[in-house]
Amino acid sequence: MHFSQRGAHVAVLDNGSKRAWERELGVEPLVAIRSLDERVHIWQEISGRSIELFEGDLTDADFVHATLESFRPDTIVHYGEQPSAPYSMIDVRHATFTQANNVVGTLNLLFAMRDLTPDSHLVKLGTMGEYGTPDIDIEEGYLTVDHNGRSHTFLYPKTPGSMYHLSKVHDSHNMHFACRVWGLRATDLNQGVVYGLETEETVLDPRLVTSFHYDEVFGTALNRFCVQAVAGEPITVYGGGGQTRGYLNIRDTLACVALAVDNPAERGKMRVFNQFTETFTVLDLAERVREAAAQLGIAATVVHAENPRFEAEEHYYNPKHSGLVDLGLEPHLLSQELIDTMLQRIVDHRARIRPGSLVMNILWTPQPATGPTAGS
């Protein structure tokens, strides 16, 4: 909708798999989402602009090839992956599905681009979670290493924290190859944790609402904390809560993707942006939600739950993120007002909250831990 509104001729590829995963796990977005078909019609009704629909699976090479042959895009914005770390950690089947699905879909795209639209620009959703939490500064995608009197610039080495995050690291290596060897152009957006409910387009009509997840599998920290507060459940911080991550408002995600699209990478280059606007500890976010809720008369508590993940809870974290700012990004920083607005919108839909999906206990290490300590 964002690009269509800007006047672009837009097509959407989808196979509805996110909805299938929701059904599988018994979770659903806070506000019901209409079918893609309906949303396309509503968008046309409101904006007068049409969006083309290609229904199929990115892991089907013929479908991807046929779609690119028909549509011939200048730009491909690729969000079509299994996006949840907990989902990928449920068991071996969910892990291998996540990696095969994400890696094969992206490879099919890269080959179709090579053969049909080699000048098109791939804007691919990665994640800040690819990096992990190294003890040195996280640069934007590349790291120049001086070693034994010589120097080389590498893809920044990654230490990801789940089977899902690993799939994105694999994608980055595959895209880098396609740029180096085939001369394609790509932008890898290492996105932080997204929060927020609305974009400039979704507010045009309530039927265009976007997916807002608060469950353990597809929900992200701030969103989940707000829903826990409204539901009268404790705000659950995993472990000590010192885990620091990059965050951004959903409106800024669209601004970032638009900046990447408007300023394409050079042929032969995989450009990398670290796409977030601020860093917070998990505990800091929880406290902010608790305070904002209190001002609205909602008494929430913050509890430290056993961490189902394997991650360092106290660590150095200094990721650079100047690339998108240099292109003109003007961040919407996290304010009390924004949390208030989120809480109020959630109150409007509180009848739909399923408390059972707030904490689902998907464990990174399902057997008694036998390994070394996280962060060691």
Q: What is the dihedral of CA 304, 227, 276, 52, to 10 degrees?
A: 140
Rank residues 95 and 221 by Cβ distance to a copy of itself and give the closer one: 95
Residue 365 touches a copy of itself, criterion: CB under 8 A: yes
Q: Rounded distance, CA 274 to CA 261, Å?
A: 15
3-state secondary structure of 172: helix
Sheet of 278-281, strand order: 193-195, 244-249, 278-281
Which of 121, 124, 158, 245 touches a copy of itself by CB under 8 A? 158
Which has the closest alpha carbon to 225: 177, 287, 173? Answer: 287
Q: Helix 336-348 vs helix 221-231: angle between axes, to the nearest 10 degrees?
A: 50
Of 290-329, binders to a copy of itself (CB under 8 A) are 310, 316
Closest by Cα among 290, 273, 274 to 282? 290
- 333 burial via Cβ count (<10 Å: 0-12, 13-18, 19+): exposed
Q: Which is nearer to a copy of itself, 271 or 345 (CB)?
A: 271
Active site residues: 127, 164, 168
Those residues whose C-beta lies under 8 Å from the C-beta of residue 328, and which sit 6 or more positions away, are 259
Residue 369 binds a copy of itself (CB under 8 A): yes
Nearer to a copy of itself, 351 or 370 (CB): 370
State the Cα–Cα distance between residues 135 and 162, nearest whole angstrom. Answer: 19
| Footprint (CB under 8 A) of a copy of itself, residues 339-358 | none
Least spacing, CB of residue 39 vs a copy of itself, in Å: 31
Contact between 103 and a copy of itself by CB under 8 A: the answer reads yes
Asked if 278 and 319 touch (Cβ cutoff 8 Å), the reply is no
Beta carbon of residue 220, minimum distance to a copy of itself (angstroms, whole number): 21
Q: Should residue 361 be labelled a site residue for a copy of itself when binding is judged by CB under 8 A?
A: no
Site string for a copy of itself, 162-201 (x = CB under 8 A): -x--x--xx--xx-xx-xxxxxx-----------------
* Residue 232 zone, left/alpha/beta (φ > 0; ψ -120 to 50; rest): left
* Closest CB to a copy of itself among residues 9, 142: 142
Dihedrals φ, ψ of 102, to 5°?
A: -70, -45
Residue 56 binding a copy of itself, by CB under 8 A: no
Which one of 73-81, 141-149, 256-264, 281-289 is the stretch in contact with a copy of itself (CB under 8 A)? 141-149
We find the least distance from the C-beta atom of residue 345 to a copy of itself, in angstroms, to be 36
Is 111 a binder of a copy of itself (CB under 8 A)? Answer: yes
Distance of closest approach, residue 365 Cβ to a copy of itself, in angstroms:
6
Integer Cα distance of 120 and 169 in angstroms: 22
C-beta separation of 185 from 267 below 8 A: yes
Nearest CB to a copy of itself, comparing residues 336 and 365: 365
Residues that bind a copy of itself (CB under 8 A): 59, 61, 65, 91-93, 95-96, 99-100, 103-104, 107-108, 111-112, 114-115, 118, 134-137, 143, 145-148, 150-152, 154-161, 163, 166, 169-170, 173-174, 176-177, 179-184, 267-268, 310, 316, 364-365, 367, 369-372
